Amino acid sequence: MTVPTHTLQRPRADESAGGPTLTRRLRRLRRSPAMRNLIRETRLTKDMLVYPLFVCPGHQVRREVPSMPGVAQLSVDEAVREAEAAAGEGINAVLLFGLPEAKDERGSAAGDPAAPVQSAVRAIKRGIPDLLVVTDVCLCEYTSHGHCGLVEGDEIVNDATVGLLAQAAVSHAEAGADVVAPSDMMDGRVAAIREALDAGGFEDIAIMSYAAKYCSAYYGPFRDAADSAPAFGDRRTHQMDPANVDEAVRETELDIEEGADIVMVKPALHYLDVIARVKQELGFPTAAYHVSGEYAMLKAAARNGWIDEERAMLECLTAIHRAGADIVITYYAREAARRLAG
């Protein structure tokens, strides 16, 4: 916006009445809490928060993740308790990750109806039917090598992986998941999952695709939590280069064409420009994932007494929403919900 020059009045030091004459005083609207509340442009609400959970084998297991204070691997019974507590605090949705009993080259447990994620979906939908259950669909938690797909030589094979992902997604839908969220970044997986869901009679199960997922150092703590670090190599041949943003729009557009209902940008804070462009250019329901490393940094600074954790948390989550995210996935969901309630 260009301001006509005649409205730009500067303080005049020689005013005899004392003090400068200004017609534009932006501070007028910041004077009191009531005034600030009245003109606020963006409101973070609990409705938009999604709470990730890590489900492991066993009973009454609650194993803290050292690099993610406040986050634990939970057996199915404990995951249900955690989901109940979150729902009681006004959270609408949980996102489930699984740690299988055993891993193999093909990640066979990903589609196993008796595995932790599928069992947790059934248990949560039984106990708290109104809570939305979203499931992460990938192979890296299930493969012995920790890669998101089948490995041949040093290549992560695309097309053969896509079929396995579709099988896993169908097994989540059979267990009762409301939304499946493929995080692997293989080409064509959204279309394959949509087709497999429809063929299985799951036309109403939504797909939230990790559409613009970058190859980020900030997933480090997650790989401790999900035991999914690659045994060799990295994820650069399928996840996006942090230097790119036009490509993020193309990735997202393609996922929408293939049938994604909700698209995601991940990580969040260093990618606010990506969130803004994806939302503005495509106008689709957009989620952003405030990832494990982003969470761990705040926790670490707070534990050292270097930062006001509550203010920093709300500032981060508000910024993600302000950039254009309709949905914010965060390990802080419960803490934020409690703060937003009060």
> What amino acid positions are annotated as catalytic residues?
213, 266
Of 77 and 215, the one with the shorter C-beta distance to ligand PBG is 215
Residue pair 215/234 in contact by the 8 Å Cβ criterion: yes
Q: Please report whether residue 115 would count as binding Zn ion according to CB under 5 A.
A: no
Q: Which of 103, 97, 324, 117 is nearest to 221 (CA)?
A: 97
Instruction: Please give the torsion angle defined by the CA atoms of residues 253, 254, 257 and 263, in that order, rounded to the nearest 10 degrees.
Output: -60
Give min distance, CB of 87 to ligand PBG, in A: 21
Least separation in angstroms between residue 243's CB and Zn ion is: 21
Q: Which is nearer to ligand PBG, 134 or 191 (CB)?
A: 134
| Least distance (Å) between residue 141 CB and Zn ion | 7
Judge residue 158's burial from the number of C-beta atoms within 10 Å of its C-beta, 0-12 exposed, 13-18 middle, 19 or more buried: middle
Residues that bind ligand PBG (CB under 6 A): 136, 138, 140, 148, 183-184, 219, 222-223, 235, 291-292
Q: What is the DSSP string of 208-266?
A: EEEEEEB--GGGHHHHHHTT---SSS-STTTSBPTT-SHHHHHHHHHHHHHT-SEEEEE
222 binds, among ligand PBG, Zn ion, none (CB under 5 to 8 A by kind): ligand PBG
223: buried, middle or exposed (CB in 10 Å: 19+, 13-18, 0-12)? middle
Please tell me the distance from the alpha carbon of residue 92 to that of residue 333, in angstroms, as a whole number: 10
Return the number of the residue (171 or 183) whose C-beta is nearest ligand PBG: 183
Least Cβ distance, residue 247 to Zn ion (angstroms):
19
**Residue 74: contacted member of Zn ion, ligand PBG, none (CB under 5 to 8 Å, by partner type):** none
**226 contributes a contact to Zn ion by CB under 5 A:** no
Contacted entry of ligand PBG, Zn ion, none for residue 136, CB cut-off 5 to 8 Å set by kind = ligand PBG
155 or 281: CB nearest ligand PBG: 155
Spatial contact of 148 and 156, defined as CB atoms under 8 Å apart:
yes
Give CA–CA dist 320/322, Å, rounded.
6
Q: Which residues neighbour 106 within 8 Å (Cβ) at sequence distance 6 or greater?
A: 143, 150, 164
**Residue 149 in tokens:** 């797909």
Options 110, 140, 262, 287; binder of Zn ion; rule CB under 5 A: 140
- Residue 148 lies near Zn ion (rule: CB under 5 A): yes
CB of 11 to ligand PBG, least distance (A): 49
75 vs 292 by CB, closer to ligand PBG: 292
138 binds Zn ion (CB under 5 A): yes
Are 179 and 155 in contact by the 8 Å Cβ rule? The answer is: no
Cα dihedral sign for 173, 286, 229, 312?
Answer: negative
Write out the residues near Zn ion by the rule CB under 5 A: 138, 140, 148
